[in-house]
Amino acid sequence: MQKNKLTTKRYQIGNPYPTESVIQKIPLENSIEQLNDFKIHQSKEQVSLQRKLSPETAMYGLGQNMGPINRRGRKFRMFNMQARPQTPDCFAVNGPYSFLIIKEADTYLGILIDCPSEINFDCGFNNQKLLDITIESSDLDIYLINSSHLKDVLQEYVRLTGTAYLPPKWAFGFQQSRYSYMNAEEVKTIANKFRELKIPCDAIYLDIDYMDDYKVFTVDQKPFPNFSSFVQEIQGQGFNIIPIIDPGVKIESGYSVYEDGVKNNYFCKDAEGNDYIAAVWPGLLHFPDFLREEVQNWWGDLHKFFTDLGITAFWNDMNEPEIFYSPETIKKLQQTASEMDYTAWRDLDPIHYKIKMDSYMLNSETYYPDFFHQTPEGPVAHTKLHNIYGFKMLQAASEGLLKLNPNQRYFLISRSSTIGANRLSGVWTGDNHSWWEHLKLNIQMVISLNLCGVLYCGSDIGGHCGNADEELLIRWTQLGAFVPLFRNHTEKSSRQQEPWEYNVQTTQILKDTITLRYALIDYLYSEFLKSRSSHLPFIRALFLEFNDPSLDEINDQFLCGSSLMVAPVIEANARYRNVYLPECNWLFWSASAYNQDNFQILKSGTHRLAVKLSEVPVFVKENELILLTEPEQYLGELEKKEASLVGLVTGTANFSLYYDSGSKINDNPGILNIKIRRNGASIDLEHDLIIGDTPITYQKISLKIFSLSGDCLRREITLK
């Protein structure tokens, strides 16, 4: 293989809007003509880039989109939208990440387009042999990153767009949500139930019904009287409370957020320069013009309402922004309805028209040309800047929270995001369904988001819409146990989906699965820290670690970091799971309860493994180790004194565990290094401790070291 070194080039067309998606300034190339193998067409309103695709070319990236991780053969519309339902023919989703990695025989080319307008990627959909990228703007930056190593390209992408968001450590615990827990009593019942059943849990979400009339930064006193003592009580049991924040501000005189926004001109304007009116949950409302710094500062400061109560965790929803209707569309609809004529039923036209009107009303996109952002160059229609709206809301929240609690990590996840949001927030992938297809999609989405720098992410476990049966919820929880954002969430009309809502056996399996996550949490967190500081994905496609062409198509297995592989069961009624093990020998763990020792050694290749409903197949790479600890009910409950290490060691295994406060931003991690060398039937052991800002609590580490023949040696390390 010919090695080519990493090169990054930046090209500019027109006068791009400063999105702040890219934070690393690199010099501009003089000539756009030289854009690698791309052909460029420019017009006043559009730029298109085309490139031939050879039969072997694979393409990856583009964030949380629909379909397999190899993007070849599909098209993707980068235009921030709530896809509902998320069906295979949805081309636009909530996270437009215009970063595509093109893999050719001996080289990787990353193309990053920095532009807030719509961008279409046709990855061989209309023409199998052509990659056709169309940007609905003539002002943009293009970055081309070239190397013979995929990791180089990904690390360079992170250098350009920023190191991944780091949540507090408790964010790796289990989280319970529902749209909505309707009142304080209900939340307390849920909290008590977790503790009573000893099912670990670190957070409970408040969905929109906690607000007074859906007014952002308020609490409805009726269902939540004494909100402050309620929060204290729940937090006292070791839970974090995570209220939802929506961008729209209800029009209501006397409501201070609304009045301040109007007074200071913080809202987006209509064509006449009045505050633009749309309707979402609260009814008529205005949208903050988050693209302006003073609006961001204002919005950020509003979080004080919650931080004063000790709440530092939030989820930002509806921030595409999603719009339900506007006064004009209501008028149009009424007009249409009044013109409908019974005698005309022979003729289908009015019905068609009405149907068109309905979908017109509910399609947010139709409203985007009607409102404007203030920019230094004057008002710009939202359509042109659409893709960064959610990102700008996250900037506001992030900066506000850092100001309110300096050097403390905040928790933030968002439905809408784009390039750059990866350094500010985590992502949940929007409204999925209780479908097996969406369990699999969950894997594909988190792998692809990780390729775009978003490490902390996940999907609604059990599915947002629809009803999960017990098997689906179990399998999905088993997958979720290895994904950073581990949240069970569902909507109003779905059945209750808390772990105890099914039957005794299901509760036990869910409890064991969640407990398993807590036993692995120090390890997973450490791998997350390492991934983050090495500027690489945490949830990794197999092709990132192994050089084996047959891995390109694997969409249902993934790695957490570099050495733990998971093959979740993704089909109903599965009694077996086909798994491909690349390159080396693996220690196979059919994981159920964390203290169930059923390790087995498997060779590389394809295996058909029996899986019980309670089991998730997990594999540890040869000469690598995983660490397990006593599980807690919530992070920080116990001072953990003991840990155990398990692995298959045939040569030398170098293990390092990163640990830190889990809560501070400037936090120098400590590192525990353990080196194990196989010496015939025996092993040699070494360890050292690099002291960080937070002391290690472990005193004793027990080792279980397997050899290829399956023998297991036990050793102990004592730390002082």
The residue ranges that bind ligand MIG (CB under 6 A) are 179, 207-208, 244, 317, 415, 430-431, 464, 489, 491
Would you say 303 or 464 has its CB closer to ligand MIG? 464
- Shortest separation between residue 231's beta carbon and ligand MIG, angstroms: 20
Q: Please report which helix (H) or strand (E) contains residue 478, including its range.
A: helix 470-480
Would you say 323 or 581 has its CB closer to ligand MIG? 323
- Shortest separation between residue 290's beta carbon and ligand MIG, angstroms: 19
Is 527 catalytic? The answer is: no
Catalytic pick among 114, 132, 246, 317: 317
**Strands across the sheet with 599-602, in order?**
539-540, 558-560, 564-566, 616-621, 586-591, 599-602
- Shortest separation between residue 492's beta carbon and ligand MIG, angstroms: 8
- Shortest separation between residue 587's beta carbon and ligand MIG, angstroms: 37
- Shortest separation between residue 186's beta carbon and ligand MIG, angstroms: 15
Is 431 catalytic? The answer is: yes
- Shortest separation between residue 611's beta carbon and ligand MIG, angstroms: 30
Structure tokens, 399: 């900066």
Would you say 207 or 370 has its CB closer to ligand MIG? 207
The sign of the dihedral angle between the CA atoms of 268, 271, 275, 277 is: negative
Asked if omega into 321 is within 30° of 0 (cis), the reply is: yes
- Shortest separation between residue 1's beta carbon and ligand MIG, angstroms: 44
- Shortest separation between residue 490's beta carbon and ligand MIG, angstroms: 8
Is 688 catalytic? The answer is: no
Phi-psi region of 506 (alpha: psi -120 to 50; beta: other; left: phi over 0): alpha
Count of other CB atoms within 10 angstroms of residue 446: 29
Asked if omega into 562 is within 30° of 0 (cis), the reply is: no
CB 10, CB 113: distance < 8 Å = no
**In terms of DSSP H, where are the helices of 221-370?**
227-236, 256-263, 293-302, 304-307, 327-339, 349-362
Q: 27 in helix, strand or coil? A: coil
Would you say 85 or 236 has its CB closer to ligand MIG? 85
Q: Return the half-sphere exposure (C-beta side, CA atoms, 13 A cut-off) of residue 242.
A: 27
- Shortest separation between residue 321's beta carbon and ligand MIG, angstroms: 12
- Triad 250, 254, 259: Cα angle to 5°: 65
**What is the distance between the alpha carbons of residues 346 and 320, in angstroms, rounded to a whole number?**
40
**What is the distance between the alpha carbons of residues 112 and 43, in angstroms, rounded to a whole number?**
20
CB 100, CB 121: distance < 8 Å = yes
**What is the distance between the alpha carbons of residues 150 and 703, in angstroms, rounded to a whole number?**
34
| Alpha-carbon separation of residue 528 from 559, 564, 628, 642, 696 (angstroms) | 11, 12, 15, 21, 18
Please name which of 477, 458, 443 lies closest in space to residue 554, comparing C-alpha atoms: 443
Would you say 26 or 362 has its CB closer to ligand MIG? 362
Would you say 317 or 399 has its CB closer to ligand MIG? 317
- Shortest separation between residue 123's beta carbon and ligand MIG, angstroms: 27
**What is the distance between the alpha carbons of residues 634 and 198, in angstroms, rounded to a whole number?**
10
Please name which of 446, 441, 443, 434 lies closest in space to residue 474, comparing C-alpha atoms: 434
**What is the distance between the alpha carbons of residues 251 and 281, in angstroms, rounded to a whole number?**
12
Straight-line distance from the first to the last Cα atom of the chain, in angstroms, rounded to the nearest whole number: 49
Give φ, ψ of 263 to 5 degrees: -55, -40
Catalytic pick among 122, 132, 320, 632: 320
Three-state SS annotation for 79-137: CCCCCCCCCCCCCCCCCCCCEEEEEECCEEEEEEEECCCCEEEEECCCCCCEEEEEECC
Would you say 207 or 522 has its CB closer to ligand MIG? 207
Would you say 261 or 430 has its CB closer to ligand MIG? 430
- Shortest separation between residue 475's beta carbon and ligand MIG, angstroms: 21
Would you say 318 or 628 has its CB closer to ligand MIG? 318
**What is the distance between the alpha carbons of residues 668 and 661, in angstroms, rounded to a whole number?**
9
**What is the distance between the alpha carbons of residues 132 and 52, in angstroms, rounded to a whole number?**
9
Would you say 150 or 244 has its CB closer to ligand MIG? 244
**Strands across the sheet with 140-147, in order?**
7-13, 140-147, 107-114, 99-104, 58-61
Torsion, Cα of 541, 543, 548, 549 (10° steps) = 90
Q: 677 in helix, strand or coil? A: strand
Catalytic pick among 114, 431, 522, 527: 431
Would you say 144 or 445 has its CB closer to ligand MIG? 445
Helix%, strand%, coil% for the chain, nearest 5? 25, 30, 45
Would you say 246 or 556 has its CB closer to ligand MIG? 246
Instruction: Return the residue nearest ligand MIG (CB atom).
Output: 179
- Shortest separation between residue 244's beta carbon and ligand MIG, angstroms: 6
Known catalytic residues are 317, 320, 431
